[in-house]
Structure 1
Amino acid sequence: MNESTHKKTYYINVGYGEISLSKSAFDWNYVIQATDDEITHLRDLFNGNDNEDWQGFFRAHVPYIQYHFDRQNDAYDQGMSLIYEQLYKLGDDATKQHIKEMNILPHIDE
């Protein structure tokens, strides 16, 4: 088994987009098991959503369209769905249960 296919335990803070191997590095929300490639993909998802979030922040200062009518918010919402799908796929039992209870991924089996 090479390094890129070996799974490690990571601690995730979704609100800040933080990923760490250290349990004590920050307040974390979720625990996942992931390969280097899977973590790279998750970081890319966080980075992409961070860019959408900043665009939304700047647009919010020109309030001419309500959130639910603004198509640019769709990209952020879709990005969050992709992040939670990845966390669910890689998560431990507690992570999976919490995401199920959030009811944000309707295609997850009950």
Structure 2
Amino acid sequence: MNEVKRTYYINVGTGEVLEDPTTLDYQFEIQATEEDLAKLQELLEEVDNTSQNSYGATWLPWKVYYSVPQDQEYDYYLTEVYRAIHRLGNEHTRRHIESMNVLNQGV
């Protein structure tokens, strides 16, 4: 059974998935099934969780970024978000993400 794909608008910075492009600023447009959308929202939640965990390390001047495991987790999940958006995105979205060079190297 084919699930119906709907158009969604993604704001990675705020972690929001919108159905109405006029509601808020967005960076990316995707076509996703309910299952695709649920997976993307889980990844966005992980980005939010790991960003909060790594925030505390930014106040420690003797800690080098990326020496803290939470920073690596944050980068991993953010890269996974961009991979998912690339997979689900329209041509403009895919080109934009490819121009960011985050798919192979990570964030």
Q: Normalising by the residue count of structure 1, what TM-score does the alignment of the two structures yield? A: 0.88
1:64 deviates by 3.1
In 2, Cα distance between the equivalents of 1:90 and 1:41?
A: 11
2:92 to 69, 91, 94: 94
1:52 to 50, 53, 56: 50
Aligned-residue identity in percent: 33
What residue number does 1:66 align with?
64
Counterparts of residues 1-110 of structure 1 (less than 5 Å): 5-106=3-104
Count of aligned residue pairs for this structure pair: 105
**TM-score, normalized by length of structure 2?**
0.91
Q: What root-mean-square deviation, in Å, do the aligned CA atoms of Structure 1 and Structure 2 show?
A: 1.5
2: CA distance, partners of 1:7 / 1:55 = 34
Instruction: Provide, for residues 34-63 of structure 1, a one-character-per-residue CA deviation record: whole Å limited to 9, x for no partner.
Output: 001111111100001101000111232233
Please identify which structure carries the higher helix content.
Answer: 1
Q: Which contiguous aligned blocks of 4+ residues in structure 1 show a shift greater than 4 angstroms?
A: none
Paired with 2:61 and 2:49, the residues of 1 have a C-alpha distance of 19
Partner Cα separation in structure 1 for residue 96 and residue 9 of structure 2: 15
Unaligned runs of 5+ in 1: none
